[in-house]
Every structure is written in structure tokens, then in C-alpha cells.
Amino acid sequence: MMACQWCESVNVIESTNTVYWELPDGTKAIEIKETPCIECLDCNMTYQTDDTVSAIEEQLYLINTKLLDKTMSYQQLINQPRLLKRNYFDFSK
């Protein structure tokens, strides 16, 4: 069973929201719509899971960010063609 990371309530739902992400090179931020999130119905906190955050950050490291629009959906971001198959600098895996 899933619980809120902030208040530990089990009254949570999976949803989507809009997030703003700074590109790895720091040149700009992009708006990512329809990003998977967890919504707590008790404390009203909305947040991305660690897996979603990792997926966004890894994708931004592996694609040509100069081709990105200022606004896109999460799925459009994830579907961008990668320059590398994986992040060879992530030693946590």
C-alpha cells in the first residue's frame, strides 16, 4: 500500500501534474505537462516519485536538449531519441 511521503497518510492517488525542470546545462527550464505524480488527499501535497524524477533527469542527460520545446508532455520528453543508450556516468545502478 502506498503512503504519502510527507504525512504518511494512505489516502493518496496517482495523478498527473505540470512540473518545471532546469536542463542539466543550466541554460533554461522547461515545462513538463502530464507528469506522473502522487496526490495526498489529506495534506494536499503533490509530488513526483523518485522513479519519475530519475526518469526525467536521466532522459535530459541522454537527449539533445537544444531541440526541446519550452513546453512538452512527460510522454513527449520520454519519447525523445537518445544520443546514448544509457547514462554511463550513473554508477548507482
55 closest CA partner among 90, 6, 29? 90
Domain-located, residue 41: yes
Is the sign of the CA dihedral 62, 67, 70, 74 positive or negative? negative
Residue 93, pLDDT > 80, answer: no
Owning domain of residue 31: 13-78
Q: What is the pLDDT of residues 5-29, one digit of tens each?
A: 999 999 999 999 999 999 999 999 9
Domain-located, residue 7: no
Residue 48, pLDDT > 70, answer: yes
Domain-located, residue 2: no
Model pTM above 0.85: yes
Question: Domain total for the chain?
Answer: 1
